[in-house]
Amino acid sequence: MPKFLDSLPMILSRSLDRVMPSYRRLFQANDLTDQQWRVLRALWEKQHLTSAQISQITLLPPPSLVGILDRLEKKNLIGRLRSTEDRRHVHIIPTQKGRALMEHMMPMVDRIHDDFMQRVTAAEWAEFNRILEKLSEPTEKRNLA
Amino acid sequence: MPKFLDSLPMILSRSLDRVMPSYRRLFQANDLTDQQWRVLRALWEKQHLTSAQISQITLLPPPSLVGILDRLEKKNLIGRLRSTEDRRHVHIIPTQKGRALMEHMMPMVDRIHDDFMQRVTAAEWAEFNRILEKLSEPTEKRNLA
DNA sequence: TGTGAATCATTCATATATTAACTAATTAGA
DNA sequence: TCTAATTAGTTAATATATGAATGATTCACA
């Protein structure tokens, strides 16, 4: 008798609802939404990404990404640059101001992450990821096994 | 060096993105959104809930719930009934049509859940829940320990 | 017993999610 | 080489999320 609250979607949603506020306080203090930070965070690892790549990394659907990039551009945190080789691609590049904000925030974001990690052992974290992967592994991949 | 994609929010978001499509196909076949189904699902266990109770159970924020209830009411799946004892409360009750839809869908929703559960052992599922609870336990509760 | 605090549902403004469709640019193949 | 199929980014329509504020009630309690 699976209870509603113990279903996989509800468990994951509830955890997200509990985890996000710690991050969101920091984002709001820097006038960013969760999603806007995700885009900057993706650009932290690689300063030169196309819109499609950012969508893949951040899990933000392309139609949403358009508005998010618009607002980041309006705040002068990123720039859009249409590719010359393949004119369908648009390269996203952080501005000076964007890089400065990222450098300001990254240590605090890492700190929040570390605080969560301290709640469990390294073995528990590994086990958690292993089971979650089994639970949510894409069906296509499963059929190959 | 915590990588972006391995952060708790991204891991949970990615899993949700992978799990939801299985459910969403069923919801769409019955002309429901994820959130609209959540409300009906809550009314499955208890056919008499106030708006605030539904918000707590479903994790749907009150401002969102207003519109969701509006649309369920327009589809004649639920009814709103203002309480006589405390006129601030609004009781939400499934209609005949709503109950019929719930009874039609519940077995299939349970089936999807069971399919996910078959991916892991009972021990793994328990361990998963235990670790996730440690990871996302509210701060207030943690301070009491 | 009156009055400020708390509660419930709601509205408002803005940002994002979802699905379908559309445009411009590129590629694949007959 | 020319057209059909693909791809990247975008627009459109509708639904939901988030945070602040409001209106109507009810509660706490001096």
Distance B57 CA to D14 C1' (A): 25
Q: Quote the CA–CA distance of A41 and A126 in Å, as a whole number.
A: 23
Q: Which domains does chain A have, with CATH numbers?
A: 4-137 (1.10.10.10)
User: Does the CB of B89 fall within 7 Å of any strand C atom?
Assistant: yes
Q: Which nucleotides of D are covered by protein (CB under 7 A)?
A: 7-13, 15-20, 23-27
| Closest C-alpha to A105, from A12, A39, A46 | A39
Q: Determine the Cα–Cα distance for residues B21 and B32; give it in Å rounded to an integer.
A: 13
Dmax over CA atoms of chain A, in Å, equals 58
Picking from B15, B110, B136, the nearest residue to A136 by CB comes out as: B15
Q: What type of residue sits at position A82?
A: R
**pLDDT digits 0-9 by tens, B5-55:** 999 999 999 999 999 999 999 999 999 999 999 999 999 999 999 999 999
**Nearest Cα residue to B2 out of A53, A118, A68:** A118
Q: How far is CA A43 from the centre of its chain?
A: 11
Supply the pLDDT for residue A2: 59
Output the distance from A87 CA to C25 C1' rounded to whole Å.
7
Residue A86 DSSP code: S
For strand D, is any atom closer than 7 Å to the CB of A71?
A: no
Q: Is the CB of A62 under 7 A from strand D?
A: yes
Q: What is the pLDDT of residue A138?
A: 86
Q: Tens-of-pLDDT digits for all 145 residues of chain A?
A: 658 999 999 999 999 999 999 999 999 999 999 999 999 999 999 999 999 999 999 999 999 999 999 999 999 999 999 999 999 999 999 999 999 999 999 999 999 999 999 999 999 999 999 999 999 998 665 554 4
Measured CA to CA, the distance from residue B93 to residue A82 in angstroms comes to 54
Q: How far is the CA of A64 from the C1' of C16 (A)?
A: 6
Between A13-17, A48-52, B96-100, B140-144, the lowest mean confidence (pLDDT) is in B140-144
* Cα–Cα nearest to A92, from A103, A72, A78, A111: A78
- Answer yes or no: is A64 CB < 7 A from strand D: no
| Nearest nucleic acid nucleotide to A20, CA to C1' distance | D18
